[in-house]
Structure formats: C-alpha cells, structure tokens
Structure 1
Amino acid sequence: MSSISKKNVDLGAMRKPYSTKQQILLETQLESKNPLKLFDIWFDEIKKCGKIYEPNAVCLATSDKNGRPSARMVLLKAYGDQGFTIFTNYESRKGQEMIQNPNASLLFYWDVFNRQVRIEGRVEKVSEEESVQYFKSRPRASQLSARISQQSKPIDSRDKMVDIYNEEEIKYPNDIPKPHFWGGFTIVPEVYEFWMGQTDRLHDRIRFFKSDDNQKVDGIITKLGEDGWAYQRLQP
C-alpha cells in the first residue's frame, strides 16, 4: 500500500528564498499609477528576459451559476484598454461558466521575477468579426482541432479523436471556417493586484480599483492613481 494513503505528504519544509537582488515594491516607486500601464511595463520586462517559456500563460478562474469555482491555464491573446482577451469553445466548461456567471479572475505568475498579477472583472463576449479574424490567424492544425473538439466532453479514446480530426482535414482542404461555437471572451478589469514576493514573507501587495476620490477601505485611506484608479497596500 502506498505511504500516501496512510498519511498526508508533508511539504512544510519546501521553501526557497527569493532572489537577494529582488527589490521591494513601494508605492512611491511604481512605474505607473495606472494599473494597465503598470501591467504593460511588467509584461514587457517578462517577455524580454527570455527565461519564461510562455509569458502569456495565465490561470483563468470562473464559477458556475451556483458559485462552484474552477480554474485552468490558458493563453492570453490580447490586452489593452478594452480588457484581457482569451479564445475558447463557448460550449466548454469555462465557456459555459463565463456565459452563465459573467465574472472571472486571471492570475499571472512569473517565478523568475517573484511577481504575480491578479485581475478580477466582468466578462464580455468578443465580437464575431474579431473572433473570425483571430481564428484565421491560427495555424491550420489549431483550426481543425477547434472545429472537431467538443471541449470538456468525454470521448472513447484518443484514436477516435484523431479519426474525427483526419475526416475534418479531408473535408476542408483549403480554408477552414470558424465554428459557430468558438470565439473570444474579454475580462474587463475592475480590480488589479500586483504582488512581489519577499523571502521573509512580508510580501508586497498593491491593489488598484476604480475610484476618482480618496476614500477609506477597511479603515485605510486610499491613494489616487491615474485615469480613475485608486490604490492601496494590502498586508501579506
């Protein structure tokens, strides 16, 4: 019998110190007081470092209409003033949850820099035109996979899935039309949180939220940022 079934696996001693070169994250030293601009600065630095295989990999958390949560890694495909965009099968679990409960959160974690960014917001469907445009830019194999996959549904075997894929490839020797059940979602941020890890566990956390006035949140005065955002330090 496996030892795992007899007792919990103790991981309490698993910890690594963060880089001694790691700076602290101070409000007075933020590169921007607009969270989207600050995210862009961080993300550009992450991309240029060349040490992270998929800088745009992000954990997407959703919940169903009853509040039951689920999370998975996806690839961010665009971000800007309108929000953060991903593409998926509308009939998949995440697609259905974002339709039924249009609230979601994103979590980026870049361990090389001891940084993470959390984003919470409402979900909006991307226009059909934008979804078609992105679908056409995908590799042919990815287009075919999107067409044949009833994402999140069970199937007898991988061989069965490959057979369906091969049939679809023969059916569409040239252009592959975007399926009606596939497209994009945009998470429109309402809250950002920037985190920088510290070895002593006094991690730095700066939260941004929409506000055009100084106010108290949990008894602490917030600071006005830029473009209608305010920010506040959170305890680790």
Structure 2
Amino acid sequence: MSKDLSRYRKEYLKGVLIEEDLPENPIKLFSDWFINADSKSNEIEPNAMSLSAIDLNGVPITRVVLLKKFSNDGFVFCTNYSSTKGKSITKNPNVCMSFFWSSIEQQVIINGMASKVSEADSDNYFNSRPIGSRLGAIISNQSEIIPSREYLENKLKKNNQENNSVKRPKNWGGYIVDPTSIEFWQGRENRLHDRILYKKENNIWNYVRLSP
C-alpha cells in the first residue's frame, strides 16, 4: 500500500522570533508561549507533549503525556513507574519533551534529566485526579499484556468505590525534568523558520540561533 502525501503543505505566517524579544530565562519564554497556546490556539490540551526516552534495549520510545506543572525547577509529568517509560527512565533518566501547537505554528523541544518528585507531591497530584482516573491508575498494570478489554473493565467494577478515599499506588507518581536545553521553533514563510536554542551550563542559560 502506498499513498503520496506531498500535497499536504502550508505556509507559516503567524509569528516571528527575534533576539530583541528574548528573555534571559527560557522558562519565561515557555510560560509566555504556553499562555498564548492555552488562550489563543485551538489546542484541546495545550499541555500535551511527546515524551521520548530510551528503553531497556537501547531503542527510542515516545508517548504523549500531559505536563502537570512547570517552574524554574523543571517540568513535571506523572506516570506509572512500572510502565515501559518508567522502567526506561529508571535506567536512563535522559528524556526529551516536545510540544507542538499547530494552530499558532510553534514548537518547543526540551531535553533534560528526569527524577522522581517527592512522595507528598505525588500524593497531591494523584488526589487532584477525578475518582475514575485514580481507580484507573490502581487497576492498570501499565504496559503489561492483558487478555481482553473485558478483563480490564471487570477489574474496574471490582475496585469501584463511590468516595474519594482511593490511595495512590506506590508505583504511580510524578517525575520532574531538569532541563539542559530548550529549543523554540516559530514557523516562518518559505520554510525559513526561526529556531532559538537555549543551553544551560553551570546554571546559566545562553542562547544561539540555529539555521532552519
């Protein structure tokens, strides 16, 4: 089976990224871009990101997860620590996160080191989830083979509780990614996109412009 996709093409005309407008701290620029994506774009979940890691066999893996928090300390997401990505991060904490907000023609790529957040923070993130999502985290042995969808739904029925006392399983929690580099991409006309790369050395951020 073959399909030619060359007709899918558009011009990028919605923004510019110039040095005169750049802050010293890329977290400030990320915050500005995220607020813009949240308020002015058509993105349903602007906090959705592609998370890439290296699995136990040295093969790259990618999954879409949701960003839960960001600050100067780093970027937080939550997952099952026993999942494929959780095991991968345990072995190799180097990860890459990518945000693409197509409607405003912007992309951010973040490289950094992931480490677990505190038990208290994981509890807080877990307790902020709807009851159904908490139960789902409890019954799902993420990434393991299961016999059927019915098997999963039966487990949910057995564990269903109509209260908010569901406790966080120990194999579920948050990671915080300490960024070492952050690239900002702004689509431009004729594919001459703006690319600004921030890199952190000795806790000091510096940036350069990259050729598109």
CA contact (8 A) 2:116 2:175 kept: yes
1:193 to 162, 172, 183: 183
2:19 to 21, 27, 36: 27
CA RMSD of aligned residues (A): 1.5
Contiguous gaps of at least 5 residues in structure 1: 213-226
Which amino acid in the other structure matches residue 204 of structure 2?
A: G
**Corresponding residue for 2:207?**
231
CA deviation after TM superposition for structure 1 residue 33, in Å:
2.2
Deviations 1:138-166 (A, max 9, x none): 11000000000011111111111000011
**Corresponding residue for 2:9?**
15
CA contact (8 A) 2:106 2:184 kept: yes
**Corresponding residue for 2:62?**
71
CA contact (8 A) 2:41 2:103 kept: no
1:175 to 165, 169, 182: 165
Structure 1 window deviating more from structure 2 (86-95 vs 65-74): it is 65-74
Deviations 1:31-83 (A, max 9, x none): x1210111011111111115211010000001124421010111100111211
Q: Distance in 2 between matches of 1:49 and 1:64?
A: 36
Which amino acid in the other structure matches residue 231 of structure 1?
A: Y
- Written as runs of structure 1 = structure 2, the 5 A alignment for 1:118-129 is 118-129=109-120
CA deviation after TM superposition for structure 1 residue 173, in Å:
5.2
**Corresponding residue for 1:153?**
144
TM-score, scaled relative to structure 1: 0.85
Q: Distance in 2 between matches of 1:61 and 1:17?
A: 28
Give the greater-gyration-radius structure (CA): 1
Equivalent position SS for 2:11:
coil
Equivalent position SS for 1:132:
helix
**Corresponding residue for 2:156?**
165
Runs of 4+ residues over 6 Å off in structure 1:
none
Deviations 1:172-211 (A, max 9, x none): 8551111111111111100000001123011110000014
Deviations 1:75-106 (A, max 9, x none): 10011121111111011111111111111010
Q: Distance in 2 between matches of 1:153 and 1:70?
A: 16
- Written as runs of structure 1 = structure 2, the 5 A alignment for 1:44-59 is 44-49=35-40, 51-59=42-50
Contiguous gaps of at least 5 residues in structure 2: none
Which amino acid in the other structure matches residue 27 of structure 1?
A: E
Q: Distance in 2 between matches of 1:65 and 1:82?
A: 27
Corresponding position: 1:93 with 2:69: no
Which amino acid in the other structure matches residue 11 of structure 2?
A: P
**Corresponding residue for 1:82?**
73
**Corresponding residue for 1:217?**
none
CA contact (8 A) 2:93 2:114 kept: yes
Q: Equivalent pairs: percent with the same residue?
A: 42
